[in-house]
Amino acid sequence: MAKSSVLGYPRIGADREWKKALEAFWAGKIEETELNSKLQEIRLDHLRKQLQKGIDLIPVNDFSYYDHVLDTATMFGIVPKRFPYEGGAVPVSVYYGIARGTKEAAASEMTKWFNTNYHYIVPELDGAAPVITENKPLTAYREAKEKLGIESKPIIIGPLTFLKLSKGYDISETDAWLKRLLPLYVQILQELAQEGVQWVQIDEPILVTKLENADLGRLKTIYETFAVSVPELNIMLQTYFESVENYSDIAALPVQGIGLDFVHGYAGNLQSVKENGFPKDKVLGAGIIDGRGIWKASLQEKLALLEELSEHVVAEKLIVQSSCSLLHVPVTVQNETKLSAELKNALAFADEKLDEIVLLTKAISSGKASVVKELEECELAIQALKQSSERNRTDIQQAVAAVSSKEPKRNLPFAERHIVQQQKWQLPLLPTTTIGSFPQSVEVRKARQLWRKGEWNNERYAGFIRDQIDTWIKLQEEIGLDVLVHGEFERTDMVEFFGEKLAGFAFTQYGWVQSYGSRCVKPPIIYGDVAFEKAMTVEETKYAQSKTKRPVKGMLTGPITIMNWSFVREDITREQIAYQLAYALRQEVEALEDAGIGMIQVDEPAVREGLPLKTEEQAKYLEWAVKAFRMTSCTVQDTTQIHTHMCYCEFHDMIDSIEAMDADVISIETSRSHGELIHSFELNTYKQGIGLGVYDIHSPRVPQIEEMTQMIDRALCVLDPKLFWINPDCGLKTRGVDETVSSLRNMVAATRIAREKYSVNV
């Protein structure tokens, strides 16, 4: 009989209990023992739920105190030298220091987990001498068995993926590092085998990307070593997020199971299995339920796929599972009481996906007749949403088709626009600004809550927001910033805010997912055709501009970021969704300009997050992503300055696309990667306005003037001072007021030093 499994379960809890525990500990409200107790309670509850749902192979070691990649690094004692660590189990204080930074040491770099909206902490191998500090998969296995009687499936990130995601070593040292790590992995697996573990899931998502021949050789070395060292252990070599490259090489590895993604890697993986077959001696982990999407699966279609796979794999060698970890979706639909029945019935979050997996496993094992009722109910729910009026707005579809058929283009090229913009704005050398948001204090959050509950009327809440704007406009002027922002105090989330004001969006009450650390977001659901209804940002921006003679930027979230940070419909392409968003946002840009706002920032921090993992698909994505941005911003006057912002990513492979967006000024996160992005500009000329973030806003520390001066100096070795802007990495929403003001004062002080130094050469 077939078995059921998942590749991981959300950590955060249905009501974000995990987040609340972490933040209470960081704030000093609970001790470490209480943190441990709370997190164990959450962890066991998640295991208990999977057991009760009927999942056969329940994963462990997918839970984390912050991030699973950081867990792997600290399990091997890989701690950056700037943190106080003398060996042994890594203390929680050091663990969180690496993740979040301390007053004495900068946090480790954070970047996206493949092409998802989850961000992991990048391991720093420089100078590390890896040892096993704790066998975390074993600890998790023992807990599940002792507390709940579960014979679980421990998970560990594979050696090749771990190395590929790490930094701090030269590519020529890869084999040397593999030689250091491999014995540690063997010891972990041997200890698991001695404990009686039956299956271990080794995650190697790097196998869906292009690998060098040397990497294929390393892969063979790794798994042959495991086969010899722990022959009694069943290893599920797990891939996800796309179809595997080098299928034949992977299929030949001496492992007992191979997990393939038949959702996001559907076409490639199915073709590989059809053309090459599947090894008779291996178990297939068939990832057929989408671990990243929130829509109810068409069970008829999934059963048809399983039947197709059964031509190559017998039922006894089949595990029905999620396409990837359920980390990327909310916990349950059951708590959503405000969604329309039509939409709610078409949704499946983590718990509902467990039900789908169990149901499909039952159908394969006991026959389709055993689930006829469920199949019919599923199809009815899917069809009801498909036929809804929200998904069939011909007015929007026709308007977007007409706009997207033309090439979006500004009237003048940048070099000419820059001249007229400088004449209008008369900005100093190295102008300073921020990315947009200012601290959302307890007072701000409380006011919003009172307004949402109806305890404050619109007039009182608007007055409160104006008071916040007044305070921060004055502060920005006192600090000495050149281009100001209104602070975004009326906004909860940079995507949710716009989604609430556009047609075609729906919002959950509890649909939280982890983005990084304790940062949880509640992605909107784009379920219908997107349409502009009325101005969304004009009132607050216009008010802020009336309070100062300095320019105030209008602040929008761009179409690609809204799309990539939302759960999107599956019945039309992502390109079509992007163009609908661009058309709606263009109308907001025009409304801001009509209101006298002459600098408008269209943030696109998530452009690179949507980059396909397959190299051959990337150019097409970037082409329409750039087009969507230009559709949003191309109709403004020559004197109107369009800004944008990007963060969290490496950009060396898309500098050309960034330039093609044709923004007048782009600000890019760089401080957390310790200025490494600057190397891209040492290799590539960039001739438009640019600001490289000079300090990390994710860390509570106040950066010193000298640190920022060094960052500025290095950047200006390769970038034109006349086009260079100085700003923080990202928005300041999550920071405290005092640290924000102190950091910005230091930033302005560093700017003044730089102006004196570089003005003689301009």
Please give the structure tokens belonging to residue 566. 């939302």
Q: How far is it, in rounded angstroms, from Cα 261 to Cα 272?
A: 12
What's the CATH fold of domain 413-440+479-761? TIM Barrel (3.20.20)
Q: Is 698 a catalytic residue?
A: yes
Q: How far is it, in rounded angstroms, from Cα 15 to Cα 343?
A: 21
Q: How far is it, in rounded angstroms, from Cα 365 to Cα 683?
A: 57
Of all residues in the chain, what percent are helix, strand and coil, respectively (each to 5)?
50, 15, 40
Residue 76: count of CB within 10 angstroms of its CB: 23
Nearest in space to 424 (alpha carbons), one of 662, 633, 640, 667:
640
Q: Is 294 exposed, middle or buried (0-12, 13-18, 19+ CB in 10 A)?
A: buried
> Residue 687: which residues within 8 A CB-CB, separation 6 or more?
414, 415, 659, 720, 723
CA distances in angstroms from 655 to 408, 584, 726, listed in the order given: 20, 27, 19
Q: How far is it, in rounded angstroms, from Cα 747 to Cα 735?
A: 16
Q: How far is it, in rounded angstroms, from Cα 724 to Cα 525?
A: 37
Q: How far is it, in rounded angstroms, from Cα 460 to Cα 451?
A: 8
The pLDDT value given to residue 673: 56
Nearest in space to 483 (alpha carbons), one of 232, 664, 714, 243:
664
- Binding site per annotation, positions for L-methionine: 435-437, 488, 603
CA triple 14-19-23, angle to 5 deg = 155
DSSP per-residue string spanning 219-270: HHHHHHHHHHH-TTSEEEEE--SSPPSSHHHHHTSS-SEEEEESSTTHHHHH
Residue 373: count of CB within 10 angstroms of its CB: 8
Q: What is the dihedral of CA 197, 349, 113, 712, to 10 degrees?
A: -140
Pair 103, 700: CB distance under 8 Å: yes
Residue 314: count of CB within 10 angstroms of its CB: 10
For strands 283-289 and 110-112, give the pairing: unpaired
- Domain spans in the chain, listed from the N-terminal domain onward: 57-158+168-202, 413-440+479-761
Q: How far is it, in rounded angstroms, from Cα 228 to Cα 226?
A: 5
Catalytic annotation, pick one of 68, 328, 418, 698: 698
Q: Report mean pLDDT in 10-residue bins for the chain, 762 residues.
A: 96 96 98 98 98 98 98 98 94 97 92 91 95 98 98 98 97 96 98 98 97 96 98 98 97 98 97 97 98 97 96 96 98 96 97 98 90 93 95 96 95 96 96 93 93 94 96 97 96 90 96 95 95 96 97 97 96 97 98 98 89 93 96 97 80 80 90 60 79 81 91 88 92 90 96 90 60
What pTM does this model have? 0.90
- Binding site per annotation, positions: 16-19, 112, 117, 435-437, 488, 519-520, 565, 603, 609, 645, 647, 669, 730
DSSP-assigned beta bridge partners for residue 513: 521
HSE-up of 134 (CA within 13 Å, CB side)? 14
Pair 64, 74: CB distance under 8 Å: no
DSSP per-residue string spanning 5-23: E-S---SS-TT-HHHHHHH
DSSP per-residue string spanning 98-146: HHH--SSSPPPPEEESTTSS-EEEPPB-TT-----S--HHHHHHHHHHH
- How far does Cα 532 stand from its chain's mean position? 26
Task: Indicate if the alpha-carbon torsion angle 78, 80, 84, 90 is positive or negative.
Answer: negative
Q: How far is it, in rounded angstroms, from Cα 530 to Cα 505?
A: 7
Pair 237, 259: CB distance under 8 Å: yes
- Binding site per annotation, positions for Zn(2+): 645, 647, 669, 730
- Binding site per annotation, positions for 5-methyltetrahydropteroyltri-L-glutamate: 16-19, 112, 117, 519-520, 565, 609
The pLDDT value given to residue 610: 87
